[in-house]
Amino acid sequence: MLEARRLSLARQSRQLFSDVSFSLEPGHALLLQGRNGAGKTSMLRILAGLARPDEGQICWNGTAISQSDNYLQSLLYLGHHAAVNTELSPTENLRYLSALHDDDSASIDDILCAVGLAGYEDVPAGQLSAGQQRRIALSRLWLSNSPLWILDEPLTALDVKAVAGLERRFKQHLDDGGMLIVTTHQPAILPESVTQRLELAALDPEADS
Ligand SMILES: Nc1ncnc2c1ncn2[C@@H]1O[C@H](COP(=O)(O)OP(=O)(O)OP(=O)(O)O)[C@@H](O)[C@H]1O
């Protein structure tokens, strides 16, 4: 279980969030919402252990993440920018990514097919569209066994079919007892019965305008 306890963060003399607490159980998702600049990416980076809050603590199965010996291995974090080597083909990118992950059981061809890149396997990623490059980055969701996924705007640049594929993958992950924390402006992609929403807006100076 992941527990965030009384997290606070200020940036550039502005309080982004204060006293934010939540807990996330296996099989459940957290949808982080808020307008541009509300602090969603900052919150996700803190949850992923890439930055520290001004105050508060995050615990993984009862242990502070800074002390946990398995938090980072339990986590898959995908940031805003597609982590794709543009000189490599989708197949080569996936071979590289699969070496980083613990699960090599899924075939690279099957994953490329699942993310809709069949027919583009050997084209340098730099010659693919933004949405196709995003699909390469999202292939990690098919490679990873990590129980906790933290995803920053994963739907950016994706078409309807790719979004539907991701929706199915999210559901499978949650059904398997995984956890998901995600920012997206398309909340319908998450199964409502197991999703809690956290809105970072209360401290936004423009919130009432
Ligand atoms: N490293 C940093 N140093 C200083 N200020 C920062 C830093 N990172 C973010 N900020 C500021 O914190 C605020 C929140 O940024 P953040 O990227 O977390 O927002 P967001 O809700 O993810 O926005 P968006 O929806 O546009 O992606 C912004 O005003 C940003 O300028």
- Name the residue type at position 78: L
Taking the CA atoms of residue 18, residue 6, residue 197 and residue 202 in that order, the dihedral angle to the nearest 10 degrees is: -20
pLDDT reading at 208 higher than 60: no
Indicate which atom in ligand 1 lies nearest the CA of residue 38: 21
- Name the residue type at position 6: R
pLDDT reading at 74 higher than 80: yes
Tens of pLDDT along 49-67? 999 999 999 999 999 999 9
Gap from CA of 99 to ligand 1 centroid (Å): 32
Domains along the sequence of the chain with CATH: 2-199 (3.40.50.300)
Q: What ipTM goes with this model? A: 0.94
- Name the residue type at position 171: K
* Pocket-testing residue among 41, 80, 81, ligand 1, by greatest number of atoms within 8 A of Cβ: 41
pLDDT for 102: 60
pLDDT reading at 104 higher than 60: no
State the pLDDT confidence band at 203, using cuts at 50, 70 and 90. Answer: low
pLDDT for 157: 87
Distances (CA, A) of 2 to 25, 33, 130: 7, 18, 33
Measured from the CB, is residue 9 less than 6 Å from ligand 1?
no
Could you tell me which residues come within 8 angstroms of residue 145 by beta carbon, excluding any fewer than 6 positions away?
A: 101, 102, 103
pLDDT for 105: 59
Question: Which of 86, 161, 181, 189 has its CA nearest to residue 129?
Answer: 86
Q: Number of C-alpha atoms within 13 angstroms, CB side, residue 198?
A: 22
pLDDT for 205: 54
pLDDT for 2: 97
Tokens 């996700």, residue located: 44
